[in-house]
Structure 1
Amino acid sequence: MRLTDLNSGREIGANCLLLELGGLRYVIDCGMHPKFEGKKALPRLDLIPGTVDGVILTHCHLDHLGSLPLLIRQNPGARVFASSATTLFARRLLSNSIQVMKRQREESGNEELPLYVEPDIVRVENALAAVPIANPRKIGRGGEEVTITFHLAGHVA
């Protein structure tokens, strides 16, 4: 097993981990750093060798899922596993992020914004798979699998 921190900084922000286990490759969270804008806010997705099998979202905060549309754009076959609550709020949060990035572009003149658009969010929605709280779920391919279980942690479900 190998776990790689893809956060672009040395602080909490663009939370993103790459889990490699046997032939499986999963990203745990794919956030956007709230202190930065544009590409500086992104995790180091370029460090992912090849494609990923899926994404596991711990909860619905921008620093945990704000870059998800970019990862799914690069990995159209990947499933996104999250609690039911996270799947319900993800679209609203990502749509709001587009509006914030458009406003940032107007204010700063940053031409790379927005980093994603509505069709990217639709791809994320189509990739989402709700996993009930406290119900173990096996995920994998080709006979290899891992078991994930979401728990209420008193933060965000």
Structure 2
Amino acid sequence: MNTEIITVGAAAARNKKTMDDLTVGLCALTVVGVSATAATPFWPEAWGRAPSIGVVVLAAGLAVFLALHTLYWWRALDEAAREAHKWAWWWGGNLGLVAGGAAVVIAALADVNLLPAALPHTDAALIALGVAAVFAAQAVGYGIAWCGWWIARR
């Protein structure tokens, strides 16, 4: 029992050291991202103006940082918290997906103009709005289900 506590404490210290190292790496990528202004090579012209290579490096580094941070965060959770997140994502996320998808379909069929006047009213902008609306609905459903899970088990 005592060795288990020491082992868990040592694992937490290793996770914190790894996260600190990742944070330093992300700070270095931020410096590179701000300073590298050359355009990204091999960018298709159909996609518009190419972002700077620094932005691409920063976005890739941020994606790796978030994935690793999530991995270490998940490993640090206890079983109850993991179950709460899994249950909330399954039920809340799926019900949010259904509600958000239905809202997007209804808005499309009713020909409702949901985009602000400043944005171009293109098919791509409408698709992006639909994806964002469904994702937001999933996140709201997840949050409600997660709170409900903990309230039910208090």
- The alignment's TM-score, normalised by the length of structure 1, stands at 0.26
Bigger CA radius of gyration: 2
Relative CO higher for 1 or 2, CA cutoff 8 Å, sep ≥ 6?
2
Higher strand share: 1
Higher helix share: 2
- The alignment's TM-score, normalised by the length of structure 2, stands at 0.27
